[in-house]
């Protein structure tokens, strides 16, 4: 069974990129499941019903979050009542979002989970301890598991990769918006990449207009960020999993420039 996972889909540029290229990607890769990290869907900050519903209509089965998932106060109730929005499970119990979401298509079953890192990130519980506790109680042991690990430190992501190897079918990193070239299948069958990267405007600094970030970083003076709309890229991975052994058999990195760079 095949899954395409899109890294942090950022703002209008990211949504347009998916809208314009989803049919082609589906034709080319023939995925059974499509999962998206959607913490930056609405102008780079959180998601809204208006920005997420069109993504579901494109064929997205479930979305994961991260530290920005709850940035929009007006969306909290929508997140609470939408079962295929998966939150980082090491945030407080009462934070809206599902702890896990299982998608069944014929014989194929995929459970999606999400955890945040602790290094250089807002406070949350240990992803190691919380994963152990969840995995022990998870009864659907014939389901493949896809873990989106949303973290800043490459070392923390790598360590969690070794920790969950053989227990999840894929650990796919998100959050830095920078794709890493270290995709592999770990010895016990977990597909791994430190960061899938960002689907959105790469003529930017992690999605925001670059001249604004340059001004902020070169002067230290606070300034309002604006989402970029230039240099769109698809950053994703395609993962094949064996539904019987629940081991990954292939991980392919996808990085495509889909709009010309401008000055």
Positions in the binding site for Fe ion (CB under 5 A): 8, 40, 66-67, 175
Q: 68, 100, 177, 202: which one is catalytic?
A: 68
Nearer of residues 143 and 199 to Fe ion, judged by Cβ: 199
C-alpha neighbours within 13 Å on the C-beta side of residue 23: 3
At its nearest, how many Å lie between Fe ion and the CB of residue 254? 18
**How far is residue 29's CA from residue 22's CA, in Å, rounded to a whole number?**
10
Nearer of residues 40 and 194 to Fe ion, judged by Cβ: 40
Contact 2, 29 (CB under 8 A): yes
At its nearest, how many Å lie between Fe ion and the CB of residue 186? 24
Nearer of residues 40 and 228 to Fe ion, judged by Cβ: 40
Instruction: Name which of 168, 53, 166, 160 is nearest 116 in CA terms.
Output: 160
At its nearest, how many Å lie between Fe ion and the CB of residue 32? 25
Nearer of residues 98 and 114 to Fe ion, judged by Cβ: 114
**How far is residue 245's CA from residue 236's CA, in Å, rounded to a whole number?**
24
| Residue 175 appears among annotated catalytic residues | no
**How far is residue 166's CA from residue 188's CA, in Å, rounded to a whole number?**
5
Q: What does DSSP say about strands 200-201 and 191-193: parallel, antiparallel, or unpaired? A: unpaired
At its nearest, how many Å lie between Fe ion and the CB of residue 64? 11
189 φ/ψ sector (left φ>0, alpha ψ -120 to 50, else beta): left
Q: What contacts 129, CB < 8 A, 6 or more positions away? A: none
Task: List residues with catalytic annotation.
Answer: 68
């Amino acid at each position: 069974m095949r899954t395409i996972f899109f890294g942090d889909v950022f703002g209008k540029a990211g949504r347009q990129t998916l809208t314009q290229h989803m049919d082609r990607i589906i034709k080319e890769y023939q995925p059974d499941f499509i999962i998206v990290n959607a913490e930056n869907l609405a102008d780079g900050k959180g998601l809204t019903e208006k920005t997420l519903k069109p993504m579901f209509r494109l064929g997205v089965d479930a979305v994961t979050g991260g530290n920005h998932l709850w940035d929009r106060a007006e969306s909290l109730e929508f997140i609470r009542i939408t079962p295929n929005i998966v939150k980082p499970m090491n945030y407080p119990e009462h934070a809206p979002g599902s702890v896990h979401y299982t998608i069944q298509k014929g014989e194929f079953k995929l459970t999606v989970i999400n955890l945040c890192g602790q290094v250089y990130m807002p406070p949350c519980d240990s992803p190691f301890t919380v994963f152990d506790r969840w995995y022990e109680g998870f009864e659907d042991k014939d389901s493949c598991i896809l873990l989106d690990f949303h973290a800043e430190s490459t070392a923390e992501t790598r360590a969690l990769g070794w920790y969950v190897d053989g227990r999840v079918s894929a650990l796919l990193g998100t959050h830095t918006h920078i794709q890493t070239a270290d995709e592999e299948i770990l010895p016990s069958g977990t597909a791994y990449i430190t960061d899938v990267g960002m689907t959105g405007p790469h003529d930017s600094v992690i999605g925001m207009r670059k001249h604004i970030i340059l001004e902020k970083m070169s002067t230290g003076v606070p300034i309002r960020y604006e989402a970029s709309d230039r240099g769109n890229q698809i950053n994703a991975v395609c993962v094949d999993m064996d539904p019987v052994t629940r081991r990954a058999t292939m991980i392919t990195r996808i990085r495509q420039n889909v709009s010309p760079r401008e000055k």
